[in-house]
A and B are shown apart, each in its own frame.
Chain A
């Protein structure tokens, strides 16, 4: 059965020609020389006022990167990227490091207003309804322009600041964790990022602290011919909890722009990190002109026992997406979760999925992925679940559905399931009822069909995280999550 009309309508609402965030902001920018060289890296490092060790780290990464080849195994095709034709650093000329919001270029403030991102703390506080508060780090091209609620968070002991500031203020923490989840040499794009990363967020939650509000970073690419290379590092110390949200948009342009980010999460004993993404980079036009190349390495390390990392992503943007948010389940009893909905329209190409690497005993993981392809797009789920020798009692449940709208698009599924432990139990959508027998029974007993019950439960997981997204997009995201995959192809 083909997709139901309701789904088709909902997907149409976010078709490539409906992109709402494609405006450009006129701000005078200071850029690094075009291209990539050791000098450019020194330039970036100097701009950020970095210590010598950081510069050395970058230069080592650059040397390594020169010897690496761009990966070509993903099911995406694009013209060769000229890495020497990109500006690796672009920052607003007027006061690139504002002390307070009043110093920020009003044009930039307007931009975030237009995007619906609250940068003024009082505005939020003055709301009639006691709103859920969200601390925002706003990254504009290569620099963080504002970080809200820093003081209040500091009272709780939470460190939330641009990573370039953290390198200066908390060098020991950064040194200890930076590159410990995604090594400098991990892959072509991660290595490139290590050499040239400009900004991003740094979060540290001290032991036993439940972060008092949601943290969020909003990434905006604005300048032409630039790439954005942000780096995010989140550390949840023993017994702590944090929920982090990430959003991203870019102007409409005929050129392709590169976004190669690295996100590292570290969860120590009994800590929990929820990482949610609403990825809405400019997807290019209906003919496939322009759009962001989103080549991102995201990985979480459940380093401590009973730690939890949850990735939730809503992917509607980018011309090309190449991204596999993963969990290394190292600590005994740790848990990894991945909930994803990826909608591709126009000529978009998505190759995305996750990796759940079970190393510790009694580790569990759950993967729920929905891919919807429309127009002439290609949507690939690529995922790995593996249990190593010592992962006794590991468990995984995977469910990935895809839906096609029209017959000009493609949906592909490439799951890898590797088990080296007899006691590990892996189920790749063997039975939908395995989600939770009890929940299914409960729903079915109340008259829902098995399919309806499954949809309800799956949506339940995801909604929980998404209904509080601090962005205008939240409404759409919720709509997307509730999209019916009735008529899914496989």
Chain B
């Protein structure tokens, strides 16, 4: 049989046109962008026959490509930031983005907190800043089509260097306020130097009713003995198709704790790619996903234990109401030399109503003989006995359900160290449950 050349989908054609027209105006050298886009074009939008996208068929889900957002006007920025609510109550250094563009005026570069340095990415790209060499800390992320698209189109972002302990959290706030659909591509690099510690908040909000297409990448290089606490909230609008990637390389004796809370988007896929690059490091990646209607959320995780004696804990909780679909794909890789690895990956899903679906794929790839790797996956409905117990004590059914769902998701949230952020996340869960009843 002759080899079949795949026809480009309209979306792929639109992406090619968008890249052609944007590549000269995007900041920095075009070479690496062109290379990334070339790699993307070779395989096109991933579809269900591509193993990593088996459950999230982007070729079917991305029928159209929204135009890339331009730099917003000052009053648009002001209105957008005034309306932003995600983790609003948490005291933090604000680093805002509107329509995918960094709001420089919102940051007082001369009075940044101790140990914090921020460089706008667009300028850095244009000037060829020395930190750019540290982008892409996870080499194999370059094979990922979502990441390739971000590399091709990244228009703005920041590079942050944390040189020592930082008290107040740094809040990367992304707001897309355009009333019609736009696409955005941002790239954040956070370099946490040896012995430093930081709490990073990352929130994503956008207007309802528009098919926004954000593609965000946050990359972190955490040195030895660092402590990084990362809280991400997806509160995108109800029509958004949100793609995001966290790529992290973590040194020895470090603590790295990341959670992604999904409460928005029509379709979302959050990818976590982590390399544990030094001994005795402790990684925790959690997820709490709340889905209703026909929402689709994918949590994809690949952890490479590149050094011995590391511990990783992954806990993903998904609550599925109505006809929504949840996806969890996790993979722990333990090479020959990573002895004494201790990895535990767990995905648990609650299907509240008939019609919902959950797809789990907790994968292990092990080459070392003296390791402990566990993986688990459960899915089912709320425990009848527990419901009965609560209802016997006078709680109406919905309330009893809410209580159980809160407890279920709470397990994933309890590792958030920052108290105010944790409280806010609990509030998000409560809000979601309230809207349900």
Contact = CB atoms under 8 A, between A and B. Distances in A.
Nearest to A379: B366
Contacts of A411: 364, 366-367
B398 interface: no
A490 interface: yes
A429 interface: yes
B84 interface: no
B377 A404 contact: no
Interface string A393-421: 00000000010111111111111111111
A128 interface: no
A2 B370 contact: yes
Interface string B64-104: 00000000000000000000000000000000000000000
Contacts of A389: 354
A428 B376 contact: yes
Interface stretch (B161-169, B174-182, B184-192, B378-386): B378-386
A131 interface: no
A427 B375 contact: no
Interface string B360-378: 1111111111111111111
B364 A413 contact: yes
B345 to A, nearest CB: 9
A430 interface: yes
B411 to A, nearest CB: 13
Contact of A424 (B348, B353, B380): B380
A176 to B, nearest CB: 33
B237 interface: no
Nearest to B348: A430
B368 A489 contact: yes
Interface in B340-362: 343, 346, 348-349, 351-362
Given A427-B378, A428-B375, A418 B336 contact: no
Contacts of B367: 404, 407, 409-411
B376 A419 contact: no
Interface string A148-178: 0000000000000000000000000000000
Contact of B378 (A404, A405, A408, A426): A426
B380 A426 contact: yes
A410 B338 CA distance: 13
B363 A414 contact: yes
B361 A417 contact: yes
A303 to B, nearest CB: 25
A422 B354 contact: yes
B366 A489 contact: yes
A421 B354 CA distance: 6
Nearest to B343: A490
Nearest to B368: A407
B20 interface: no
Contacts, number: 128
A424 B379 contact: yes
A185 to B, nearest CB: 15
A3 B372 contact: no
Given A413-B375, A490-B374, A422 B368 contact: no
A429 B360 CA distance: 13
A111 interface: no
Given A2-B370, A407-B368, A490 B375 contact: yes
A425 interface: yes
B364 A412 contact: yes
Most chain B CB within 10 A, of A402, A405, A411, is at: A411
A412 B365 contact: yes
Nearest to A421: B354
B379 A430 contact: no
A225 B354 CA distance: 54
A80 interface: no
Best-buried of B1, B332, B351 by chain A (most CB within 10 Å): B351
A64 to B, nearest CB: 12
Nearest to A401: B374
Nearest to A490: B373
A16 to B, nearest CB: 19
Interface string A29-44: 0000000000000000
B51 interface: yes
Given A422-B354, A423-B381, A490-B343, A413 B372 contact: no
Contacts of A408: 336
A419 B358 contact: yes
6 contacts: A417-B379, A418-B358, A422-B355, A422-B381, A425-B381, A489-B368
Interface of B: 1, 51, 332, 334, 336-337, 339, 343, 346, 348-349, 351-381
| Shortest 4 CB-CB contacts between residues of A and residues of B | A490-B373, A422-B351, A404-B369, A425-B380
Given A410-B365, A425-B379, A489-B364, 6 more contacts: A402-B364, A404-B368, A404-B369, A407-B368, A416-B359, A417-B358
